[in-house]
Amino acid sequence: MANLALYGNVGIIRVFCQECQRTALVIRNVRQCCDRLLNEDVDGTERIIEPEATKRYPNAKEKVVILRRQHDCCLYCGRRLGSLAWYKGKQVTLRINYDHVLPFEYSRDNSLGNFVAACHVCNHWKSSRIFNYLEEIQIYVTEKWQRVETNMGKNLPSMRDHVPS
């Protein structure tokens, strides 16, 4: 009988091998004890190690890797981190936030692959929402940025309203 063994947030199929008389991991449908194909269905799950309980953020080396991977831009909106943008009626510097793509509350995943660099505005908008694909997040924040920019245009005085003194 095979089951999905959960090691933190990683699931690996395990099976008791009758030939070897021990429990073995199954990778690419091959039992790692004797290199025989798995010929059983996965029948359930078994928690081996609990996922992390404490939310953490990338260390300094991981932050460098993330920023290089993203060319110093917010993964969600594409704006350069540290640049200026209009938000809530004023110009702000886009600060770096390291975001859990799958929110930690749901996934308990502190792995490097779950972290991205986002500007503080996009990170605020995304919050703990769950999206199926990165593109969905990008569409969501693009629409938010478009609303901000449209509202900024409405709030700026037009040239005809200007009365010379």
Domain spans of the chain, in order of start? 2-49, 60-155
Q: Mean pLDDT: which of 10-14, 27-31, 80-84 is highest?
A: 80-84
Return the ∠ at Cα 130 (arms to 46 and 47), rounded to 5°.
10
State pLDDT tens for residues 78-118: 999 999 999 988 999 999 999 999 888 888 889 999 999 99
State pLDDT tens for residues 61-82: 999 999 999 999 999 999 999 9
